[in-house]
Structure 1
Amino acid sequence: MASGNNSTFSVIGSDIKIEGNISASADLHVDGSIEGDIKCTSLVQGESSEVSGGITAESARLAGHVSGSITAKELVILKSARIEGDVHYDALTIEQGAQVDGRFAPNARRSAAGTGGSAQAPRQSVKPAKEGDADQAQLKIAT
């Protein structure tokens, strides 16, 4: 689904299910279900949305379920999000309550170490912090 010059915002409604890859030159708002990769400038994912595939965007604000890798310069993972996959980012914000099961790696460091991408980051999961730490999420790293 590509956007023309007349539109700068595309919406995939909650009643829509797409099987296939999506490429959009505009901002994309997804409330429906997508089985395929998404490539766009800016992605906003609704709470009830499900994406089974990779996401590549300049900026992404995720609130639903994603099963696949995510690559974004600016990534916001909201508390309602459930992410199953590796996360690559330049700037990352994770709200308390978000669930992420995958590896985190800053975009700049993925290939900068000279390892050719062969080194793997430890598996990480984000779980809510204890009650006294309302403004923070707890990052658990399993080796």
Structure 2
Amino acid sequence: MANRSNDPGFSVLGADLVLRGALHAEADLHVDGTIEGDVVCKSLVQGEGSTITGSISAQSVRLAGTVEGPVEAAHVVILRSATLRGDVRYDALTVEQGAHVEGHFARRDGAGSPGLALIG
């Protein structure tokens, strides 16, 4: 019998997967496919060829593909291969030079230093 811990683990959605509907996971999530719906998870890593159409809410988000919808996370990283059309609410934000972003950025707490890093 397998030993189960309280760690929810890690889930991968492959490049051949198309998911229509909301996705709620307590696990870390790696997405290489297409999601048409809102995503709520602990941590999200998006592959370069993937597309998410809907809102994203997580503790940390690393975007490399296409996102159409708002993003809210404590830590947001937008890589140069990413295309984001939507507003971003964050505590700490990193945007690589070359990323395509259309939307507004706002800190979640609304105060303090911008928590922004631009990587060239």
Per the normalisation by structure 2, the TM-score is 0.86
Question: Which 5+ residue runs of structure 2 have no aligned equivalent?
Answer: 112-118
Given the superposition, is the C-alpha separation of residues 7 and 57 from structure 1 closer, same or farther in structure 2, using an over 3 Å criterion?
closer
Residue 43 of structure 1 aligns to a residue whose secondary structure is: strand
Given the superposition, is the C-alpha separation of residues 97 and 33 from structure 1 closer, same or farther in structure 2, using an over 3 Å criterion?
same
Runs of 4+ in 1 over 6 A off after TM superposition: none
Question: Which 5+ residue runs of structure 1 have no aligned equivalent?
Answer: 113-134, 137-143
Q: Quote the sequence identity (%).
A: 55
The question of 1:16 aligning with 2:47 is answered: no
Q: What amino acid sits opposite 1:79 in the alignment?
A: R
**1:26 counterpart residue number:** 27
Aligned length: 109
1:97-138 CA distance string (max 9 Å, x none): 0011001000001xx7xxxxxxxxxxxxxxxxxxxxxx54xx
**2:36 counterpart residue number:** 35
Q: What amino acid sits opposite 1:76 in the alignment?
A: V
1:40-63 CA distance string (max 9 Å, x none): 000000000000000000000000
Q: What amino acid sits opposite 1:10 in the alignment?
A: S
Shift of 1:5: 5.2
8 Å CA contact retained: 2:72, 2:88:
yes
Q: What amino acid sits opposite 1:72 in the alignment?
A: A
**1:141 counterpart residue number:** none
Shift of 1:93: 0.3
**2:107 counterpart residue number:** 106
Residue 41 of structure 2 aligns to a residue whose secondary structure is: strand
The question of 1:96 aligning with 2:97 is answered: yes
Per the normalisation by structure 1, the TM-score is 0.73
